[in-house]
Structure 1
Amino acid sequence: MSNIKVYTNLYILITIIIYSSISYTSKAQRRNEYVNNSIPAMYVLGDSLVDVGNNNYLRLSLDKADFSHNGIDFPTGPTGRFSNGKNTADFIAEKLGLPSPPAYLSLSDPNINKTILTGVSFASGGAGILNGTYSTLRQAISLSKQVDYYTNVYKILIQELGSDATQQHLSKSLFIIVIRSNDLKRYFYDSGISKTITPQAYVDSMISSINEILKQLYGLSARKFILAGVPVVGCTPKERIQNEKLTCHEELNFWVIKYNNGLKSSLEMFKSEFNDTNYSYFDTYSALADFIQNPDKYGFTEAQSACCGLGKLRANVACLPISEYCPNRDDHVFWDLYHPTQKTVSMFIDMFYNASQYVTSTNISQLVSL
């Protein structure tokens, strides 16, 4: 019996050694695979312009796009994207040869370790730079909470790859931040805020907050950043119908420009303080303004009205299943009240990726090679 026990224990020991070796080799292979890629992953933070479905999992959120006519041109139909098709996150991922980052809240425990190696999106429709921005929509993932979620991912990556490999992996990855419009809209439509703080002080607080977010991400190994400025929000269909002449909301646009200029200055200072970082900034304001002012130049026939909605400029009622939608989405700059069509976004990303008059610091293709 003693010999049988010896052989049994020896068998168990050998099995454990073999299994551990296989497991270690597998992790080592994954570590090498993802660390050696030029851009191994993209991690996305933001609002509805890059939300790929996180809000679908927020029970109280009124800001969702998981129904038609959203996704009418997306391969699988409505997904939670505020678009007729793909959004900014999708097109950047395509340029990088990466899968579109999944919504963080959609990930289940058995799959999360592998999935996050190529990226994930924390973006949430209705979110803003400031924590209170989403309150009127009852629920959204604030930017600070999105960073908390990324911190969870960071810890998982360390467990999966090890500390050194995680730092290498993340230093090569792209961190995309597209969040800004909701804060400024809130200022002009929430009298409780506008009565207690000047617009300049409010814009300054936005810039200060985004700078702190960048520092937090830097402390968690982020080194390559992509940021987009606030677009010409005052010329969106929803803002136009606020006046009889359907003209742009110029005061809103004025403070959008103020914020964008402040953000660019802040990014320059951030780069000088943390000189091992690199960033690419896209002047969405000027690009969209050009689309609106010169639609024929870009192949559009409609630059004021939304494609999907009801009422004046199809902007009195949002894009809902009961709404009308245009038969040719590529004719329109805007998909709904505020969001651009898939074609508009695709053209933006082409500009952003390659050398463009609308890019500050480096374009995306240059950022990839750094």
Structure 2
Amino acid sequence: MAYYYTNVLSAAVLGFFFLFVVSGITFSEAQKVPGIYVFGDSLVDVGNNNYFPTLARVNYPHNGIDFPNHKPTGRYSNGKITADFLAEKVGLPTSPPYLSLTSMLKKNNPSFLSGISFASGAAGILDTTNKDLAISMTKQVKYYTTSVYGEVVQQLGASEALNHLSKSLFYIVIGSNDIMKYDRIHIKQQPEEFVDSMILTLKQQLKQLYHYGGRKFLLAGSGPIGCIPLQRHKNKTLECKQDVNSACLMYNEGLKSMLHELKSELKDINYSYFDTYNFFSNLIQKPASYGFSEVKVACCGLVDDIDVKHLCRRTSSYCSNRSDHLFWDPYHPSEAASRIVVDAVFEGPLQYSFPFNVEQLIAL
């Protein structure tokens, strides 16, 4: 795995080797953006959780079985995830995990210009969500503002760094773990109050990223968490848990309102909000249209498997027709699903993206 991430970093550095400095740094014609900075949870974690002690780790078979090297990489998937496919869309290597590079800072001065991923499996918006398992969103933002931002400024100079970051994508997928945590512990706080605390906290985090150069944001709303295999398994009929889905919808409405407010407060910020909930609901309702035949049961960790409440383990059984399954494990989408999602995120109809899809966001 170290070999793989070293190659990714080398690709990132080589990608900038031929950039020509005249009045400032530009990026190659093959690249649509100069960098992608990723924040969030297991849906976009490319391996950060491999670099600190945590139970929320998937660096073992059968994860990664369909990845190019057929080995686990720390991704919660049988293969690539949305962070990989988005990078491909814009002509960049996948942003490497931040924790894989921190030890190299003083020795090799790695380039953060093409992007970095801070995402951590089990992470939440709120610091109290899985605090012993993951890098919280607060800490991810702090890593960016106190370490990566400074390195970019050092390499490019203050003015060009801001120019570079203003053209880069800030990709954020977060909130699902907070909602699931609330559902599990049934805290005394009313759902509306809990969601409001999530939205207020995330708004402050986004403002921090803005004050440190971020201008173009891609944010994914919560999917229908009540329909993931783990939640379906709680019903004998394998139907979705509607109370959980209601919380997801509440959060999404709050997120959309907050982004609208943020745009009115910070005029030069732009964003694309992806309606994950309705997009995945469509996949579930019309699976054959997207090439799926199984949307209720996970490929790895089947409903009658003892591991159904856990992540895919070495001892878990797994399906042979992984491209037919919407879900890889009881929580996470398959590689096939992630590819379809990014196609919609990048160039899909505005039915699912507001107010722009990513291709339009990049062109601003």
TM-score (structure 1 length as normaliser): 0.88
User: Any stretches of 5+ residues in structure 1 without a counterpart?
Assistant: 1-25
Q: Does the Cα contact within 8 Å between 1:310 and 1:316 map onto a contact in 2? A: no
For structure 1, which segment, 161-170 or 110-119, has the greater mean C-alpha deviation from structure 2 after superposition?
Answer: 110-119
Distance 1:208 1:186, change over 3 A: same
Aligned AA (2:105):
D
* Equivalent position of 1:252 in the other structure: 244
**1:55 counterpart = 2:49:** yes
Q: Does 1:74 align with 2:70?
A: no
How far residue 110 of structure 1 moved from its aligned partner, in angstroms, is: 5.4
Give the Cα–Cα distance (whole angstroms) in 2 for the partners of residues 111 and 168 of structure 1: 27
Which residue in 2 is equivalent to 1:97? Answer: 91
State the shift of 1:160 in Å: 1.1
Match of 2:114? Answer: 118
Query: AA paired with 1:116?
Result: F
Q: Secondary structure at the match of 1:51?
A: coil
How far has the Cα of 1:219 moved from its partner? 0.4
Deviation of residue 310 (structure 1)? 4.4
The CA deviation at 1:273 is: 1.2
Q: Which position in structure 2 is the counterpart of 1:147? A: 141
Structure 2: distance between partners of 1:42 and 1:79: 19
Give the number of the structure whose residues are more often helix, by fraction: 1
User: 1:331 — aligned with what?
Assistant: 324
**2:209 corresponds to 1:200:** no
Q: Does 1:321 align with 2:314?
A: yes
Match of residue 298 from structure 1:
290
Q: TM-score normalised to the size of structure 2?
A: 0.89
Partner of 1:353: 346
Identity of aligned residues (%): 49
Residues 233, 303 of structure 2: 8 Å contact kept: no
SS of aligned partner of 2:170: strand
Q: Quick one: distance in 2 between partners of 1:57 and 1:217?
A: 24
Q: Kindly provide the amino acid, as one letter, of the partner of residue 61 in structure 2.
A: S
Match among 156, 174, 177 for residue 179 of structure 1: 174
Tell me how many residue pairs correspond in the alignment: 339
2:344 partner amino acid: M
- Secondary structure at the aligned position of 1:75 is classed as coil
What root-mean-square deviation, in Å, do the aligned CA atoms of Structure 1 and Structure 2 show? Answer: 1.9
Query: Could you say which residue in structure 2 is the equivalent of 1:86?
Result: 80
In 2, the alpha carbon distance for the partners of 1:104 and 1:30 equals 30
Post-superposition shift, 1:30?
Answer: 11
Task: Determine if the alignment matches structure 1 residue 276 to structure 2 residue 272.
Answer: no
Deviations 1:61-110, CA, capped at 9 Å, x for gaps? 11111111000000122100000011111010000000000000001225
C-alpha contact 1:35 1:169 (8 A) present in aligned 2: no
Gaps of 5+ in 2: 1-18
Q: Which letter maps to 2:119?
A: A
Aligned partner of residue 134 in structure 1, secondary structure: coil
Paired AA for residue 152 in structure 2: L
Aligned match of 2:224? 232
User: What SS is found at the alignment partner of 2:236?
Assistant: coil
Q: Which segment is superposed worse, 290-299 or 140-149?
A: 290-299
The answer to whether residue 210 in structure 2 is matched with residue 214 in structure 1 is no
